[in-house]
Amino acid sequence: MTAQTFVSYGQNREDVVLRRALRDVTAGSYVDVGANDPRLYSLTRGFYDQGWSGITVEPVPVFAEAHRRERPRDTLVEAAVTDQPIDSVTLHVIGDTGLSTLVDDVSERHRQDGWESRDVAVPARTLDEILESAGWEGRDIHFVSVDVEGAEPEVLRSFDLTRWRPWILVVESTAPRSTEQTHHAWEPRLLEAGYVPCLFDGLSRFYASPDHPELVELLSYPACPLDEFDTDLDRQRREQIDRQQRALEDAEQLVERTRAETVRWRTTALTRWAAAAAPVVTSHVDPAAAARAAHLEQELDATRRTLSWRITAPLRAVRRSARAGR
């Protein structure tokens, strides 16, 4: 992988589509509402790795803390986005999954499917307020991602699209854990602001700002091999195979060194045995000495076989591990 290759972390390669449209932008800006894990399935991690930064909004404490730790250039807002002037809201937290939601009906459906949740009061803010507090007035926002498990209408209502004018909007448009499309509940607001529908990838919808018509065609098709991207999972697998290969090479070198030492030891032992067993002055072999020599030879062979099996054990283990990782 070259230094320029884009690494995709997105669940459905949404970040690859965004990268295609924004390839000429360096050190760009994003807003990630419902950022969840800072790496796994993140639409913004690939951009962060290439020098971008932005605002990540995440109310689940464990994910918010992970963002602070792993992505210090970003501005982390630990809150839920709503369209109401309230200080806090109840979040239905479903472990360390991406299923936590503000929507009671969605939480209830998850409960019926066997997912346990706990209710947590979290700060509530509008997206307008978040952008104002960050001082982003007049700043280019290259894309906004909204993935909030059923609360997309509330997020978009809290956001003045005529004021902030992000270049691209990516909004999850299917019901959580379902293929049911939900864009009818919020898309009219985007269309009224002049945003152009570009793509539905089976999970999310992409919209281009009327101020950037050049993006429409670039956003019109899903990720494909011509985008020349890598994936985080493939990269991790290659790194694991490389580690196993290095371990295999180290084990092979250890075996060769140990074999050489064993041969030297055995040669020395046999030489000493031969010297001890040879008659000083005799014309025939002493039967007792011959028997003792044969016994010593058997012991040496047994020792060699046992040692060889023991020293090659790490090599066999590494080879099995390497085959399993391919």
Give the CATH number of domain 6-227: 3.40.50.150
The two structure tokens encoding residue 80: 């839920």
Work out the percent of the chain whose per-residue pLDDT is above 90. Answer: 61
220 within 8 A of 212, measured Cβ to Cβ: no
205 within 8 A of 197, measured Cβ to Cβ: yes
Query: Residue 3 — pLDDT band, cuts 50, 70, 90?
Result: low
Task: Decide if pLDDT at 22 tops 60.
Answer: yes
Query: Residue 264 — pLDDT band, cuts 50, 70, 90?
Result: confident
Query: What pLDDT is recorded for position 279?
Result: 58
Q: Where are the domains of the chain?
A: 6-227, 236-325
Task: Decide if pLDDT at 307 tops 70.
Answer: no
More confident residue, 42 or 284: 42
- pTM of this structure: 0.73
145 within 8 A of 44, measured Cβ to Cβ: yes
SS3 172: strand
Lowest mean pLDDT among 42-56, 66-80, 309-323: 309-323
Task: Decide if pLDDT at 317 tops 70.
Answer: no
Span 264-281, mean pLDDT?
Answer: 73
Measured CA to CA, the distance from residue 149 to residue 143 in angstroms comes to: 19
43 within 8 A of 10, measured Cβ to Cβ: yes
